[in-house]
Structure 1
Amino acid sequence: MKRRSMILISLILVLVGSSIPVQAAGRSTEIQQVNQQLKKQHFTGSVLIIRDGRTILQHSYGYANFMKLQPNTTASDYQLASTQKVLTAVLFMQLVQAGKVQLNAPLSRYYPQIAHSKQITLRQMLDMNSGLYSMTDAQTMLSDSQLIKFAAQHVKVKAIGQHNYEPVNYTLLTGIIERVTQQSYQTLVKQRIIRPLKLQHTGFMLADYQQEATTTVAYKAVNSFLPYLVHDHESKIALNRKLGTGNMYSTVTDLFRLEQAIQQNKLLKPASVATLFNATDGSYRGGLYNYRDFVVSHGVESSYEAGLAMSRDGYSGVILLSNRKTGVSLSQQARKLYQRLRL
Structure 2
Amino acid sequence: MLIGDVSCAASNGYNPVLTTDQHHYDAQVVNQVGKGGYAIYTDGPYDTSRRTKTRDADGSDYTNAYVRVLQTKTTKTGSYVKLRCFNKTLGWMNTHGIKKVSFATVASGVMKQANFSGSAALISAGKTKPTVVNAGMADTTTHTANSSSGTVLYPLASLQKAMTGAIIQQLISQHKLAPSTPLSRYYPQVSGSQQITVKQLLSMTSGITNSEQLPTSAPTESGAVALAIKTLKVSSDKTFNYSDDDYVLLAGIISKVTGKSYAANVQSRLLSKLGLTHTVLVNQSIPALKRKTAYSYTLTAANAYAQPQTVGNARMAAIVGAGNVLTTPTDFTAIIQGLQNGKVLSKPQYQRLLHYGGTYSGGFYVSRSGVKFNNGSFSGLNYHTGYYATTGNYHAAIVFGNRGPLKNNAARKDFVYQLYRVAVYY
TM-score (norm 2): 0.68
Quote the residue 2:186 is aligned against. 110
Unaligned runs of 5+ in 2: 1-98
Query: 2: CA distance between counterparts of 1:110 and 1:56?
Result: 40
Quote the residue 1:14 is aligned against. none
Question: What are the superposed Cα offsets for residues 39-85 of structure 1, whole Å, 9 maximum, x if unpaired?
Answer: 12211111222212166853211111101122223323211111001
Q: Which has the higher contact order (CA 8 A, sep 6+)?
A: 1
Quote the residue 1:179 is aligned against. 256
Q: Which amino acid aligns with 1:62?
A: G
Correspondence for 1:125 among 189, 201, 221: 201
Asked whether the equivalents of residues 107 and 133 of structure 2 are also in contact (C-alpha less than 8 Å), the reply is no
Structure 1 residue 33: Cα displacement: 4.8
Match of 1:68, SS? coil
Structure 1 residue 222: Cα displacement: 4.8
Query: 1: CA distance between counterparts of 2:289 and 2:103?
Result: 38
Structure 1 residue 320: Cα displacement: 0.9
Q: Which amino acid aligns with 1:212?
A: K
Task: Check 1:199–1:136 CA distance in 2 against 1; reply closer, same or farther (3 A cut).
Answer: closer
Query: 2: CA distance between counterparts of 1:136 and 1:221?
Result: 22
Task: Check 1:182–1:303 CA distance in 2 against 1; reply closer, same or farther (3 A cut).
Answer: same
Task: Check 1:127–1:280 CA distance in 2 against 1; reply closer, same or farther (3 A cut).
Answer: closer
Alignment of 1:145-294 (within 5 A): 145-205=222-282, 210-213=288-291, 215-223=292-300, 225-278=302-355, 283-290=359-366, 291-294=368-371
Task: Check 1:159–1:56 CA distance in 2 against 1; reply closer, same or farther (3 A cut).
Answer: same
Task: Check 1:330–1:57 CA distance in 2 against 1; reply closer, same or farther (3 A cut).
Answer: farther
Match of 1:244, SS? coil
Greater CA drift, 50-59 or 312-321: 50-59
Match of 2:141, SS? helix
Asked whether the equivalents of residues 158 and 323 of structure 2 are also in contact (C-alpha less than 8 Å), the reply is yes
Asked whether the equivalents of residues 136 and 154 of structure 1 are also in contact (C-alpha less than 8 Å), the reply is no
Correspondence for 1:316 among 375, 384, 395: 395
Q: Which amino acid aligns with 2:108?
A: N
Alignment of 1:45-56 (within 5 A): 45-51=118-124, 52-53=126-127
Asked whether the equivalents of residues 45 and 60 of structure 1 are also in contact (C-alpha less than 8 Å), the reply is yes
Match of 1:77, SS? strand
Structure 2 residue 174 is matched with structure 1 residue 98: yes
Structure 1 residue 216: Cα displacement: 3.5
Query: 2: CA distance between counterparts of 1:236 and 1:257?
Result: 25
Task: Check 1:44–1:102 CA distance in 2 against 1; reply closer, same or farther (3 A cut).
Answer: same
Question: What are the superposed Cα offsets for residues 134-157 of structure 1, whole Å, 9 maximum, x if unpaired?
Answer: 236362432222221222232211
Structure 1 residue 227: Cα displacement: 2.5
Asked whether the equivalents of residues 264 and 313 of structure 1 are also in contact (C-alpha less than 8 Å), the reply is no
Question: What are the superposed Cα offsets for residues 162-181 of structure 1, whole Å, 9 maximum, x if unpaired?
Answer: 11111011111111110110
Greater CA drift, 134-143 or 61-70: 134-143
Query: 1: CA distance between counterparts of 2:170 and 2:161?
Result: 14
Match of 2:397, SS? strand
Structure 2 residue 416 is matched with structure 1 residue 334: yes
Structure 2 residue 132 is matched with structure 1 residue 73: no
Match of 2:254, SS? helix
Match of 1:101, SS? coil
Asked whether the equivalents of residues 265 and 273 of structure 1 are also in contact (C-alpha less than 8 Å), the reply is no
Structure 2 residue 383 is matched with structure 1 residue 307: no
Task: Check 1:287–1:159 CA distance in 2 against 1; reply closer, same or farther (3 A cut).
Answer: same
Structure 1 residue 338: Cα displacement: 2.4
Correspondence for 2:112 among 39, 49, 73: 39
Q: Name the count of aligned residue pairs.
A: 316
Relative to total residues, which structure has the larger helix share, 1 or 2? 1
Q: Which amino acid aligns with 1:312?
A: T
Task: Check 1:279–1:88 CA distance in 2 against 1; reply closer, same or farther (3 A cut).
Answer: closer
Structure 1 residue 234: Cα displacement: 2.3
Asked whether the equivalents of residues 64 and 323 of structure 1 are also in contact (C-alpha less than 8 Å), the reply is yes
Q: Which amino acid aligns with 1:110?
A: Y
Query: 2: CA distance between counterparts of 1:297 and 1:136?
Result: 19
Percentage of pairs with the same residue: 26
